[in-house]
């Protein structure tokens, strides 16, 4: 039996994260299967007069998401500390992150747990930043991630876990006068959106600056 190289550990963790991401999305979607055990509430509570329920599907999803997020941190840590960087990791690590986070955000929006514009903003921002990154790479320019992007990632992870374990499903037939509660409990997602947009703008400005400096040297 072939021995697994230590350098391949980050790649193995990335593959595990992709599998966990698919499982997390699947269990989050199972909430929509009525009369199933996953549709049932594990616990309920009242918040400002509104009853929130946390279904079994969300608790399972939250556990899987938390483990997957831990593998994201671990493979990044190992890759940086021991220089276990590979072409596979460069390609699939960001893809695994997008499957995990964007997939869960889309399902949460469909289940009326978060505002629908949250995943739209996040996905559009990622597409634009990836396009700018590819453009910069074609010019031989590498722009490091800024602190706003890192803050966005941290807050986004906390927001998703909080939604899955603490806020669950928001009633779709709630009176309009209680809608402010919906945005209050999703304030972390809104903050993550602001940081996401800010980091994207800063990233674009930095790329523009680097491109101008590179052209000036030619």
- What's the pLDDT tens digit per position in 130-152? 888 888 878 777 777 778 888 89
Tokens of 137: 């790479």
Q: Residue 147 domain-assigned?
A: yes
- According to the model, what pLDDT value does residue 132 have? 87
Q: Which domain holds residue 85?
A: 6-217
For residue 1, being part of any structural domain is answered with no
User: Can you give the CATH number for the domain in which 204 is found?
Assistant: 1.20.120.1760
Cα 4 to its chain centre, rounded Å, is 29
Asked if 168 and 54 touch (Cβ cutoff 8 Å), the reply is: yes
Encoded tokens for 140: 């031989």
Distance in angstroms (rounded) separating the CA atoms of residues 201 and 185: 27
Do 78 and 12 meet the contact criterion of CB atoms below 8 Å apart? no
pTM of the model: 0.88
For residue 131, being part of any structural domain is answered with yes
Collapsing DSSP to helix, strand or coil, 55 comes out as strand
Asked if the structure places residue 141 within a domain, the reply is: yes
Is residue 46 situated within a structural domain?
yes
CA distance 19 to 65: 11
Give pLDDT tens digits for 149-196: 888 989 999 999 999 999 998 887 777 777 888 898 999 999 999 999
CA 35 to chain centroid: 29
On whether the CB atoms of residues 197 and 118 are closer than 8 A, the answer is no
Say how many domains are in the chain: 1
């Amino acid at each position: 039996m072939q021995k697994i190289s230590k350098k391949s550990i980050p790649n193995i963790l990335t593959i595990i994260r992709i599998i966990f991401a698919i499982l997390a999305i699947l269990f989050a979607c199972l909430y929509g299967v009525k009369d199933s055990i996953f549709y049932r509430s594990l616990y309920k509570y009242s918040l400002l007069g509104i009853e929130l329920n946390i279904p079994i599907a969300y608790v399972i999803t939250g556990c899987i998401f938390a483990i997957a997020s831990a593998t994201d941190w671990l493979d990044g840590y190992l890759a940086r500390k021991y220089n276990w960087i590979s072409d596979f990791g460069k390609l699939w690590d960001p893809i695994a992150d997008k499957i995990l986070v964007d997939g869960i955000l889309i399902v949460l929006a469909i289940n009326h747990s978060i505002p629908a514009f949250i995943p739209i903003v996040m996905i559009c921002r990622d597409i634009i930043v990836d396009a700018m990154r590819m453009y910069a790479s074609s010019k031989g320019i590498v722009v490091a991630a800024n602190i706003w992007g890192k803050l966005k990632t941290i807050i986004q992870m906390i927001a998703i876990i909080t939604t899955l374990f603490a806020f669950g499903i928001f009633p779709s037939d709630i009176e309009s006068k209680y809608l402010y509660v919906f945005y209050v409990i999703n304030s972390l997602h809104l903050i993550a959106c602001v940081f996401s947009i800010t980091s994207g703008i800063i990233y674009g400005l930095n790329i523009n600056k680097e491109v101008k400096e590179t052209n000036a040297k030619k």
